């Protein structure tokens, strides 16, 4: 049965999972282990606290935290109260997070305390002070035992909902329907201005029931979720997919191959989605043979072309039964094409598979030639949040989504992504957008003009290189600008190389000719 028809809404899915899988292990988060029954109780308690704090249907609630049980409970509690989830990238600095909070009109924020040595609370408070705060934000809840006087601890927030009964929570859930927005995922566009893709409950449930079916996820699977929850795939192909099938979720907050190996062995992990670099690191790790990886049976990787050798090694050396590739983007609910179990290894390695049921994919080019990839179907977003102009630029009148990606379709309908129109490059699995980085670098007082491109990197796949024109009299060095960038933007956005130039190459209309910069970069690397 279609996911949207079976469960109706995401809270409907949660309730169904609790009923069906009751005593089965739902989440393993460090030393904490909870059953589906316990997970359901925690989510209901969080939903009650959201109701007590004044959350109404359609209010935006943001979560800025790494993968954890608390993230799941906070997010699903908010969605059960009728809120629209706004996940924030954990690599954001305070100013970047505050910008998305303002744009989304978030009323409530759940934020981690300290992560990777950074106080997110302190970062947020600095951003509020510098940028005049976030007017619509009424409450900040810190997912820890400590919080500043004007913020709430997680414990105190939950305590606030004790006067709200289960019947009240269920009445709120009963007012929701599948056509309502379930989440807004903000991605940076080519203008540098973040845009929020609005996706509904029904779209999400239908898409990820299909994902479960094609991937072969099943009850009893133990799923290591390395993909970040703030990303569509981590949350939906991770948390929601596990709820659909009764799999055990093992959230991992930071990618580290040593931790991945240890988790696979200790928890008998059977499912491991992630970028090709993750699987390559796993295979090449010197201590791999010291860990029992025999439970691993399903690997799903992203749109990047996967070396055939990688597929063969996963199957041959690790005995992985199913290796699949897929392609998606936030504007299409995170999933567009997917390989099928039983596909030839060359198809899996060289393409991202075929359109999922209920969607169409076409390429604006002659058969077998590269062109822009267009998608139409149930999974296409309702539009960018409060941005009709940007929506009209990417969704045609007859419902085709212009992806900005360049691809080729073969005779069987398999899609191969070959380039990115939008100049985006991918740094260790994170999408980096040159225009956004250029905008940030342009704030430096000694930068007169700047252009950013992606260049190859053996470890991260690609990294940024900035071509910079200094202001007259400036003595700015590459090290100075990189150090400044590390303070002002997420690490994956920071250029790894800086080249100072007298002027940037521009065409007659004044646009920077990035092809020329890429050629120059290629020569310097060669």
Which of 62-66, 308-312, 487-491 has the least mean pLDDT? 308-312
Q: What pLDDT was estimated at residue 512? A: 80
Check residues 432 and 46 and name the one with the higher pLDDT.
Answer: 46
Looking at residue 190, what is its pLDDT? Answer: 37
Band (pLDDT 50/70/90 cuts) for residue 304 is low
Segment 500-518 mean pLDDT: 79
Over residues 171-181, mean pLDDT: 98
pLDDT greater than 80 at residue 437:
yes
Of 2-11, 188-197, 489-498, the least confident: 188-197
Average pLDDT over residues 476-494: 95
Q: How far apart (Å, rounded) are the C-alpha atoms in residues 350 and 50?
A: 46
Name the residue with tokens 């279609």.
2
pLDDT in tens, 374-387: 999 999 999 999 99
Q: Which of 452, 455, 454, 485 is nearest to 469 (CA)?
A: 452
Task: Choose the CATH number for 255-420 among 3.40.50.12780, 3.40.640.10, 3.40.190.150, 3.40.630.40.
Answer: 3.40.50.12780
Report the run of H or E that residue 43 belongs to, with start and end. helix 36-52
Q: Name the band, by pLDDT with cuts 50, 70 and 90, for residue 192.
A: low
**CATH entry 1.10.1740.10 includes domain 3-196:** no
Q: What is the DSSP letter of 343?
A: -
d(CA 342, CA 288): 27
pLDDT, averaged across the chain: 92
Assigned CATH topology for domain 425-525:
GMP Synthetase; Chain A, domain 3 (3.30.300)
Q: Give the number of other CB atoms < 10 A from CB of residue 386.
A: 14
Q: What pLDDT is recorded for position 267? A: 98
Q: Tens digit of pLDDT for each residue in 323-381?
A: 999 999 999 999 999 999 999 999 998 899 999 999 999 999 988 888 899 999 999 99
What is the arithmetic mean of pLDDT over 399-403?
A: 97
Where exactly are the structural domains of the chain? Answer: 3-196, 255-420, 425-525
End-to-end CA distance of the chain: 54
Q: Which residue blocks in 151-233 are alpha helix, DSSP H?
A: 154-159, 166-174, 201-215, 232
Check for a shared fold between 3-196 and 425-525: no
Sheet holding 337-338, edge to edge: 298-301, 322-327, 337-338, 354-355
Whether 149 shows a pLDDT value over 80: the answer reads yes
pLDDT at 433 over 80: no
Average confidence (pLDDT) over 160-183 = 97
Compute the average pLDDT of residues 465-483. Answer: 94
Q: 448 pLDDT exceeds 90?
A: no
pLDDT at 302: 74
């Amino acid at each position: 049965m279609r996911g949207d028809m079976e469960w109706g809404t995401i809270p409907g899915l949660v309730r169904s999972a609790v009923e069906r899988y009751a005593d089965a292990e739902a989440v393993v988060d460090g030393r904490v282990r909870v059953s589906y029954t316990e997970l359901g109780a925690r989510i209901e308690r969080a939903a009650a606290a959201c109701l007590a704090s004044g959350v109404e249907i359609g209010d935006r609630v943001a979560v800025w935290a790494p993968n954890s049980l608390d993230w799941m409970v906070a997010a699903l509690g908010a969605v059960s109260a009728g809120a629209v989830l706004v996940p924030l990238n954990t690599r954001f600095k305070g100013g970047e997070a505050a910008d998305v909070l303002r744009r989304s009109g978030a009323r409530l924020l759940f934020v981690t305390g300290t992560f990777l040595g950074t106080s997110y609370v302190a970062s947020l408070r600095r951003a509020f002070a510098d940028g005049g705060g976030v007017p619509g934000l009424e409450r900040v809840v810190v997912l820890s035992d400590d919080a500043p006087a004007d913020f709430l601890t997680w414990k105190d927030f939950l305590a606030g909902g004790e006067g709200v009964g289960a019947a009240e929570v269920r009445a709120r859930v009963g007012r929701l329907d599948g056509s309502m927005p379930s989440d807004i995922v903000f991605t940076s566009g080519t203008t540098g201005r973040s845009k929020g893709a609005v996706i509904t409950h029904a779209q999400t449930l239908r898409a990820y029931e299909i994902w479960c079916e094609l991937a072969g996820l099943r009850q009893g699977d133990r799923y290591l979720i390395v993909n970040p929850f703030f990303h569509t795939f981590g949350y939906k192909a991770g948390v929601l997919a596990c709820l659909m099938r009764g799999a055990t979720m093992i959230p991992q907050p930071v990618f580290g191959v040593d931790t991945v190996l240890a988790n696979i062995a200790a928890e008998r992990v059977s499912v491991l989605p992630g970028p090709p670099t993750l699987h390559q690191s796993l295979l090449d790790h010197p201590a791999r043979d010291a860990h029992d990886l025999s439970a691993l049976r399903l690997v799903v990787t992203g749109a990047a072309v996967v070396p055939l050798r990688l597929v063969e090694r996963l199957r041959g050396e690790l005995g992985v039964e199913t290796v699949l590739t897929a392609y998606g983007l936030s504007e299409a609910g995170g999933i567009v094409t997917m390989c099928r179990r039983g596909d030839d290894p060359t198809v899996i390695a060289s393409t991202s598979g075929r359109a999922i049921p209920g969607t169409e994919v076409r390429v604006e080019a002659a058969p077998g030639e590269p062109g822009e990839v267009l998608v139409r179907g149930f999974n296409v977003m309702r539009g960018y949040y409060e941005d009709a102009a940007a929506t009209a630029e990417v969704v045609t009148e007859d419902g085709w989504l212009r992806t900005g990606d360049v691809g080729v379709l073969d005779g069987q309908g398999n899609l191969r992504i070959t380039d990115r129109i939008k100049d985006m490059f991918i740094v260790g699995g994170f999408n980096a957008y040159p225009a956004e980085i250029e905008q940030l670098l342009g704030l430096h007082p000694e930068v007169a003009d700047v252009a950013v491109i992606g260049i190859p990197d053996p470890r991260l796949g690609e990294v940024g290189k900035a071509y910079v024109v200094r202001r007259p009299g400036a003595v700015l060095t590459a090290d100075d600008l990189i150090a400044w960038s590390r303070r002002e933007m997420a690490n994956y956005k920071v250029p790894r190389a800086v080249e100072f130039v007298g002027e940037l190459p521009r065409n007659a209309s004044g646009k920077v000719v990035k092809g020329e910069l890429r050629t120059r970069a290629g020569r310097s690397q060669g």
